Chains A and B, each alone.
Chain A
Amino acid sequence: MTAPILTLTIDGRQVSGLASETVLQVARENGIAIPTLCFLEGLSAAASCRLCMVELEGSPRLHPACITPIQEGLVVTTQSERLFNYRRAIVQLLFSERNHVCAVCIANGHCELQELAKEFDIDHIAFPCRHPALEVDASHNRFVLDHNRCVLCTRCVRVCDEIEGAHTWDVKNRGIHSQIVADLDTPWGAAATCTGCGKCVHVCPTGALAEKGKSMAEVRQKRPFLPYLVANRAEERK
């Protein structure tokens, strides 16, 4: 049985989608761009970055498009001055939270945070930067985890759990002290559960996870590979 088809309005356009779909999915199917960072096609939605927040008519608060199911007659606004200002502030706060030095970063030129800054015309960071002293975990023989560049999107946590099935990655602490950890907070190289598959490295939006021995110019991340992987596995299970 397929889900019923619902009709809604996004940015003044009449669109329709399956009742099982989210506002983000239906928007993208109709070529309406909503900025995202933690969301990645093929993984569950974490709704943690808050960049995809949209306005719903009749609701005073904002809603994350990636986890908001569509409803019949829903009226969605994805672009407004209010949303633009919030999104701009979010990207700036991400820059201010850790040490993002684009010029010397492995991800320079293929970083989603850097691209978001350009998309939102961010030419400087209005907030004071925290400059925390963070570690670089280079204990794995093939990969590096640089906490300085991490935006805590948890794509690595989700891909390791949901696709690879290893659940090596998780998050320790709360709020501003949150940090990605391997196993029960061990150096990555000592993590018994890590299969070394490298999926986390490929989904990382910034330079937090990288392959060793590769220069900035050689890095080729394959972020859109997940939908194919998920589809192929569903095929195999039949």
Chain B
Amino acid sequence: MSKPRLATLWLDGCSGCHMSLLDMDERLLELAAQVVFVYSPLVDAKHFPERVDVVCIEGAVSTDEDEALLRLVRQRSKVLIAMGDCAVTGNVPAMRNPWGAETMLKAVYQESRALAPQIPVETLPRLHDQALPLHHFVPVDLFIPGCPPAADTLFAALGALLAGAADGLRLDSRFGA
């Protein structure tokens, strides 16, 4: 049997959850021995591959690009994990939600710039009115709350998934942990 193919994805988050993944330290070697790491901001692959077994997604969905990527990743992955509070609840990126995209763009690109303020329209994807959690767009198989979830929690979750023991899995994590 070939090794499970693992991927991670970074949407609207601070990368703290990926830092928490790296915080597994020497256990990364243990994990690396069990999986093929096919896509991640931490590796060189430029395009999300086909036939992914497990994908951990950090961050909320904030733009057209985030949404399109999430839908593609869902199609190509067997198990989709919402990793951390932004992916699970919207968390900090969602703090802008009461005011909408236009107010935010003005506040950031116009009102706070003294010289030639302008809102970028090319090269940047369209900002959604609200930053929303993953399960508003696609089915999510496992939610791991925490800001960020501890390395131990992520290791326990991935370990259980790879061992096929994810049913009824109880993780020691909470919102904001």
Contact = CB atoms under 8 A, between A and B. Distances in A.
A118 interface: yes
B175 A102 contact: yes
Which 3 residue pairs of A and B lie closest in terms of their CB atoms, listed nearest first?
Answer: A102-B176, A103-B147, A133-B98
B101 interface: no
Interface string A108-145: 11000010011001011100110111100000000000
B143 interface: yes
A74 interface: no
Interface string B27-59: 000000000000000000000000000000000
Nearest to B98: A133
Contacts of A99: 94-95, 97-98
Given A101-B95, A124-B133, A124-B140, A108 B176 contact: yes
A105 interface: yes
Nearest to B93: A101
Given A128-B136, A131-B97, A123 B91 contact: no
Contacts of B88: 123-124
Contact of A101 (B92, B130, B171, B174): B92
Given A117-B174, A124-B133, A129-B94, A102 B85 contact: yes
11 contacts: A101-B91, A102-B85, A102-B175, A103-B85, A103-B91, A109-B176, A114-B174, A114-B175, A117-B174, A123-B144, A124-B133
Q: Report the contact-size class of chain B (Cβ under 8 Å from the partner).
A: 20 to 34
A133 B96 CA distance: 10
A170 to B, nearest CB: 25
> Which of A103, A114, A121, A124 has the most chain B CB atoms closer than 10 A to its own CB?
A103
Interface in B148-176: 170-171, 174-176
Interface in B110-154: 130, 133, 135-136, 140, 143-145, 147
A114 B176 contact: yes
Interface of A: 95, 99-105, 108-109, 114, 117-118, 121, 123-125, 128-129, 131-134
Given A124-B89, A125-B133, 17 more contacts: A99-B95, A100-B175, A101-B95, A102-B174, A102-B176, A103-B91, A103-B176, A114-B174, A114-B175, A121-B170, A124-B82, A124-B133, A124-B140, A129-B90, A131-B130, A132-B98, A134-B98
Contacts of B175: 100, 102-103, 114, 117
A125 B132 CA distance: 11
Nearest to A128: B136
Contacts of A114: 174-176
A18 to B, nearest CB: 38
A132 B145 CA distance: 23
A131 B94 contact: yes
Contacts of B136: 128
Nearest to B140: A124
A103 B85 CA distance: 8
B174 A118 contact: yes
Contact of B99 (A103, A123, A124, A133): A133
Given A114-B176, A123-B143, A124-B135, A104 B92 contact: yes
A129 B97 CA distance: 10
A124 B170 contact: no
Contacts of A118: 174
A121 B136 CA distance: 20
B95 A124 contact: no
Contacts of A121: 170
Counting chain A CB atoms within 10 Å of each CB, the highest count among B82, B89, B92, B171 belongs to B89
A103 B144 CA distance: 14
